[in-house]
Structure 1
Amino acid sequence: MDAIHDAALLWTPDGWQADAGLAVADGRFGPLRRGEPTGSGGWLLPGIPNLHSHAFQRAMAGLAERQTDVRDSFWTWRETMYRIAARFDPDSLQAVAAQLYAEMLEAGYTTVCEFHYLHHASDGRPYADPAAMSQALIAAARETGIRLTLLPVLYMTGGFDGRPLSERQRRFGHDLDGFLRLVQDLRGQEDATLRVGVAFHSLRAVPPQALAAALAALPAGIPLHIHIAEQIGEVQDCLALRDARPVEWLLANAPVDARWTLVHATHLTAEETAGIARSGATVAICPTTEANLGDGLFPLRDYLDAGGAWGIGSDSHVSVSPVEELRWLEYGQRLHTRHRNIAVGAAGGSVGQTLLRGPLASATQATGQAPGALAPGLAADWIELDRQAPAFAGARPEDVVDRWLFAGNRPLVREVHVAGRRVVAEGRHRDAEAIASRYREAVQTLLAD
């Protein structure tokens, strides 16, 4: 076991610990020890888990910002997304995902949950290797060094009424047997930084009988993610055809527990909010995407009061920054309530520290891996803040996290380590230039007329 870093400040669930030593063996932390009290070490925090990603959408960020309808919404944005999605193949997906994952690492994300439904060729036919698109994502993660929880998506119908997938959706679809084979094959590739879970695209895309059959067939303990209650239209359709709201229906008809991550869950009643918290499930909140799509605001204060587990995701990647996700999670609440400092404990305290603790506390159950804390036996993933940055001038331990999250837009992550290996130094990914070159070529081809 070798000492890796002397930390001037090291983040723990109880706050900062001064002069701590960080040791690593086989990609995991060993016991913490007393560091040299020189004050010259870094300010070290656990890496941030990104609980929701559609990697291919990085290539369309900024391309859906022209009005196509006076009632532009998620549903009109989806038309642009379908056009871009139809152009991807395994090579372009790997190039785009690698650029995205390098950007995530530079921003301080060290784990990504990839909600992956771009399975087949654009005409809906499987590739010779049915897992070719999944393999592209795995290759991108291994190339960049990010920890990956791959979530192949079950996508079967085009609406709550059971309509067939449209022509543009056919490349997303599986029958249940084919989907379970894909999951089994991918699980055979798991290693120290790769886990495979399952995503159900949404209640509108997975009929009740298929959901029950999939849950009965899947291994116990596998991470389960689902889009839910993102849009008012989705809630209205579910009420009309199932006589229940989406979260209400899910809680009543599925064994929702700590294995589950409910993505968005934006439109909730008080009973649904409390029900998710009681279930032990995690909510993946994606503030920049939810703002970009006009989804709505998650009821954060009520959910915190109920003791619910939550994390963040960058989803469509209009922003690739945990700082911006956490900042706008708080700012959205301030705009809605017209008050300040919403995300705090019952006794008050630091908004930044409350916001940091949420994603770290839910990291293990949502990812199926072991990130989230600088503690013995857990994944040796950490970030080092740039303590020389002007934003930190005169910083005290109690305000470091607040300054990181609320003191401007200059990147403040200096180094990033995953499984004990340094992947970012001086704010740059180790292979940033080569990855960016392939990304530019891929996107130019994807967007060519």
Structure 2
Amino acid sequence: MQLTTQPTGTPVTATYWMSHAWLGTHVEPGVLLDVSGGRIAGVRTGVGTPPPGATVLHGLTVPGLANTHSHAFHRALRSTVQVGSGTFWTWRETMYRTASRLTPDTYYDLARATYAEMALAGITAVGEFHYLHHAPGGTPYDNPNAMGEALIAAASEAGIRITLLDTAYLAAGFGEEPNRHQTRFSDVTADAWAERASLLEGDDDLVVIGAAIHSVRAVPAGQLATVARWAQERAVPLHVHLSEQTAENDACLAAHGRTPTRLLADHGVLGPGTTGIHNTHLTAEDIELLGASRTGTCMCPTTERDLADGIGPAAALQGAGSPLSLGSDSHAVIDLFEEARAMELNERLRTHVRGHWTASALLRAASADGHAALGRPDGGTLEPGAPADLTTVALDSVRTAGPVPRLGAEAAVFAATAADVRHTVVAGRHIVRDGRHTRIEDVPGALASAVAALHH
């Protein structure tokens, strides 16, 4: 069955035949998947040949991938920030300059192309950590959510789901007013942030409106609970950059006499609806607090190494009870397979021991646990009732050619890259077919144009 592009929200009925499919614990050959209303209606194994009318997906099909942490405008920084040396803090100055040039229209163009790149990489849902709210200087747009709505529209056009994590960003540091770059991020108070964020709406199950605390340095301690309550009352995801840099920890200890994790715990921010981003420089008590509260952890290994942030204690966090997910963050690359194996390989470098996670566990972090962190706990599986989100990886590329996988997901996690994705299906819609985006004809051209517009 050849699917045509359908408007967002239109129920989809289709049948997909997968030459190989990862079913959570193992790989099955010859799997038939029925879609109704954008969800999986049935899964049949042992179907040796595709029946008439079925769309054929050759390769290894896995659940659609979830990119738990994204800053779409950082895509414009790729390569330009690789010149010379420096630290996270010098990189941040370049990021500020790029942010200052964005308008709702140029942000839409850049995000649309970036999200299309994600679709080509097998990503079916993105968590957009959004703090670029106002015009330069801090003046609100006539539509106070013009920038957030541009991101929602961009994701819709690119064909992927979005959890817009509208972010409270109120200060430059502990006791410091926003600097000239940060004024367009700030709503001044958490109450004003909540009033603006409450105007955002998701129009269907492809859009979730969540919340974020940029960091403990960017939201005064007395206002953390306001943001947390907003998310908790709505039962939506709450994310927070946490202990990405040792300088943040030192400043928090100086200002409050406690670690950022303890500060968040003391103000009611931690819990199963919350995800800490990075969680890199933690004490043993921090790890215990995060695990005991079931607060999630989103690791972003390609960004963490690109910015020389450090290697976070992922294995210890998971062992303590913190679910792990993955994100491409600054988009130094957009490749969830790379993020998954980097988490394992980083841990090998840190401990000198191999095999901390199985390929299946890493794939769950890139799919099911990521979808849960984005407010879709039923996503990331190939089971009846789950969203019909699929990613198919070629098994005949120079990276993946070899024995056909019979037992596990190793071919995808430890060999494939985003370039090996051949099909991406979102809510039953065939968004990427045979390695080409079905809605945006020239994704590289769209990226080049959108980035160039910010560097003129």
TM-score over 0.5 for the alignment? yes
Alignment pair present for 1:380 and 2:412: no
What's the counterpart of residue 75 of structure 1?
89
**Which residue number in structure 2 is paired with residue 44 of structure 1?**
61
Matched-pair contact (CA < 8 Å) for 2:121–2:418: no
**Within 2, Cα distance between the matches of 1:217 and 1:111?**
23
Do residues 209 (structure 1) and 222 (structure 2) align? yes
Name the residue aligned to 1:146. Answer: 160
| Counterpart among 175, 178, 201 of residue 165 in structure 1 | 178
Aligned counterparts, 1:288-327, within 5 A: 288-327=302-341
Contact 2:57–2:423, Cα closer than 8 Å, also in 1: no
Corresponding residue for 1:397? 406
Deviations 1:295-315, CA, capped at 9 Å, x for gaps: 110112222333420100000
In the TM superposition, residue 255 of structure 1 has moved relative to its aligned partner by 4.6
**1:408, distance to aligned residue in structure 2 (A):** 6.0
**Equivalent residue runs for 1:18-417 within 5 Å:** 18-34=29-45, 36-38=47-49, 42=58, 43-67=60-84, 72-160=86-174, 162-174=175-187, 175-187=189-201, 189-218=202-231, 219-343=233-357, 351-369=358-376, 370-390=378-398, 391-399=400-408, 401-407=409-415, 409=417, 411-417=419-425
Deviation at residue 95 of structure 1 after TM alignment: 1.1
Secondary structure of 1:395's aligned partner: coil
Q: 1: CA distance between counterparts of 2:95 and 2:328? A: 16
Q: 1:256 to 1:410 in 2, by over 3 A?
A: closer
Distance in 1 between the 2:316 and 2:242 partners?
18
CA deviation digits over 1:207-250, x for unaligned, max 9? 12211123334433111001010000001111111111111222
Contact 1:6 1:35 in 2 (8 A): no
Deviation of 1:23 (Å): 1.1
RMSD: 2.0
What amino acid does structure 1 have at the position aligned with 2:102? F
User: Residue 443 of structure 1 aligns to which amino acid in structure 2?
Assistant: V
SS in 2 for 1:318: coil
Stretches of structure 2 that go unaligned for 5 or more consecutive residues are 1-11, 51-55
Structure-2 change in CA distance of 1:364 and 1:65 (3 Å): closer
Rate the CA distance shift 1:53–1:245 in 2: closer, same or farther, 3 A. Answer: same
Distance, in Å, in 1 between the alignment partners of 2:224 and 2:116 is: 34
Contact 1:156 1:205 in 2 (8 A): yes
Alignment correspondent of 2:429 = 421
Q: 1:385 is aligned with what amino acid?
A: V
Q: Deviation of residue 105 (structure 1)?
A: 0.9
Specify which of 439, 445, 448 is matched with residue 453 of structure 2.
Answer: 445
Per-residue CA distance 1:117-162 (angstroms, 9 max, x = gap): 11111121111111111111111101110110001111111112x2
* 1:7/1:35 contact within 8 Å kept: no
Give the number of aligned pairs: 435
Q: 1:35, CA displacement in angstroms?
A: 5.1
Separation (CA, whole Å) in 1 of partners of 2:393 and 2:102 = 36
Q: Distance in 1 between matches of 2:321 and 2:235?
A: 22
Q: How far apart, in 2, do the equivalents of 1:137 and 1:220 lie?
A: 21
Secondary structure of 1:170's aligned partner: helix
8 Å CA contact 1:10, 1:44 repeated in 2:
yes
Identify if the C-alpha distance between structure 1 residues 140 and 248 changes in structure 2 by more than 3 Å, giving closer, same or farther: same
CA contact (8 A) 1:261 1:284 kept: yes
Helix, strand or coil for the counterpart of 2:367?
helix
Secondary structure at the residue paired with 2:167? strand
Residue 436 of structure 1: how far off its partner (Å): 4.0
SS, match of residue 22 in structure 1: strand
Q: 1:100 to 1:310 in 2, by over 3 A?
A: same
Deviates more, 1:366-375 or 1:353-362: 353-362
8 Å CA contact 1:3, 1:21 repeated in 2 = no
1:9-20 mapped onto 2 (5 Å cutoff): 9-20=20-31
Given that 1:259 and 1:365 are in contact with CA atoms closer than 8 Å, whether structure 2 keeps it comes out as no
Partner of 1:348: none
Structure 1 distance, partners of 2:434, 2:114, is 18
C-alpha distance in 1 between matches for 2:107 and 2:57: 39
> Is contact 2:120-2:437 (8 Å) kept?
yes
Q: 1:172 is matched by which residue type in structure 2?
A: F
Q: Deviation digits for residues 62-90 of structure 1, max 9, x if unmatched?
A: 1122336xxx2111110111111101111
Distance in 2 between the 1:433 and 1:361 partners? 29
Partners in 1 of 2:157 and 2:451 — Cα distance?
19
Match for residue 5 of structure 2?
none
**Partner amino acid, structure 1, of 2:181:** R
Return closer, same or farther for 1:251/1:136 CA change in 2, 3 Å cut-off: same
1:346 alignment counterpart: none
Paired AA for residue 448 in structure 2: R
Q: Give the C-alpha shift of residue 9 in structure 1.
A: 2.7
Is the 8 Å Cα contact of residues 170 and 186 (structure 2) preserved in structure 1?
A: yes
State the partner residue of 2:6. Answer: none
1:179 offset after TM fit, Å? 1.7
SS of 2:448's equivalent in the other structure is helix
Residue 347 of structure 1 is matched in structure 2 by none
Once the two structures are TM-superposed, the CA of residue 367 in structure 1 deviates from its matched residue by 0.8
